[in-house]
Amino acid sequence: MYISKLYREEDREKILEFLRQNEFATLVTYDGEKPTASHLLMEVAEDGERLFVNGHMSKANPLWKTFEKNPDVLLIFQGPHTYISPTWYNHVNVPTWNYQAVHVYGSPRIVTDRDVVYQLLSRLVARNEGGSAYRLETLPQDFVEKEMKGIVAFQIEVTRIEANYKLSQNRNDEDYHNIVSRL
């Protein structure tokens, strides 16, 4: 991804927080003929200095079959984005777009350990259900086992991160404050 020096974010903690707040990502691989992608719920996990992204997809989704041929995949996490009108500046200019995006590159592997897959799904459900009583552990376990057979879980070990936070950093104070007030 092209990133101007002005918009490059390198603070690991800020990037990790962004990834966790924008966990619905686009996973891009190559099927041997063309790029292919799926939009999937992800989980960011740290192990010391190592970073992993965990997820799952339907077994019917052919994307997981590309992992063996792709030692490097791309995950695209997008955050807030919006049009910036040139009428918001104190001078003549062109329109632009403000956005936050993080590209995560890494090496994928299929996770086959039933207990690891169950724990991943349990964490995802608990996190997204919030205070709800709906939990994997409270469902009929034969139902859960049947549903687990229909997915493929995976883990991507992160090898590189590129973070682009284009948020009008190149504007003077007056223009910047005017943009903030308009948004």
- Max intra-chain CA distance, the chain: 65
Q: Residue 131's pLDDT is what?
A: 86
β-strands 73-84, 96-111: how paired?
Answer: antiparallel
Q: Residue 38's pLDDT is what?
A: 98
**Residue 179, φ and ψ in degrees, nearest 5:** -60, -45
pTM: 0.92
Contacts of 74 (CB under 8 A, 6+ apart): 27, 28, 29, 103, 104, 105
**Residue 95, φ and ψ in degrees, nearest 5:** -70, 160
pLDDT in tens, 94-151: 999 999 999 999 999 999 999 999 999 999 999 999 889 999 999 999 999 999 999 9
pLDDT in tens, 55-106: 999 999 999 999 999 889 999 999 999 999 999 999 999 999 999 999 999 9
